[in-house]
Amino acid sequence: MGQIIVGSEAMAAGSATRQTLRSKYVMVHQNVYAPTGLLLTARDRAMAAWLWSGRSATLAGYSAAAVLGSKWLPDDSPAELARTRQPSPPGILIHTGVIADDELQLVGEMTCTSVARTCYDIGRRQPLDTAIIRIDALLNVTHVGVDRVVDIAERYPGARGIRRLRKALDLADAGAESPQETRLRLVLIRGGLPRPATQIPVADEWGRVRRRIDMGWPDWMVGVEYDGDQHWSSPEDHENDIVRLEFLASRGWTIVRVSARQLRCRQPEIVARVHNALKHSRRNYGL
- pLDDT value for 2: 55
pTM: 0.92
CA distances (Å), origin 185, targets 136, 170, 221, 263: 11, 13, 17, 10
Q: Can you tell me whether residue 202 is helix, strand or coil?
A: strand
pLDDT digit string, tens, across residues 81-130: 999 888 889 999 999 999 999 999 999 999 999 999 999 999 999 999 99
- pLDDT value for 284: 61
CA dist 279 and 260 (Å) reads 25
- pLDDT value for 1: 44
- List the one residue out of 204, 220, 23, 4 whose CA is nearest residue 110: 4
Is 119 in contact with 149 (CB distance < 8 Å)?
yes
- pLDDT value for 86: 85
- pLDDT value for 205: 84
Tell me which residues of the chain have a pLDDT lower than 70.
1-2, 229-233, 282-287
- pLDDT value for 285: 56
Is 30 in contact with 89 (CB distance < 8 Å)?
yes
Domains of the chain plus CATH, in order, are: 39-171 (no CATH), 179-279 (3.40.960.10)
- pLDDT value for 204: 84
Pure H helices in 158-208: 162-171, 179-190
Share the mean pLDDT of the chain. 93
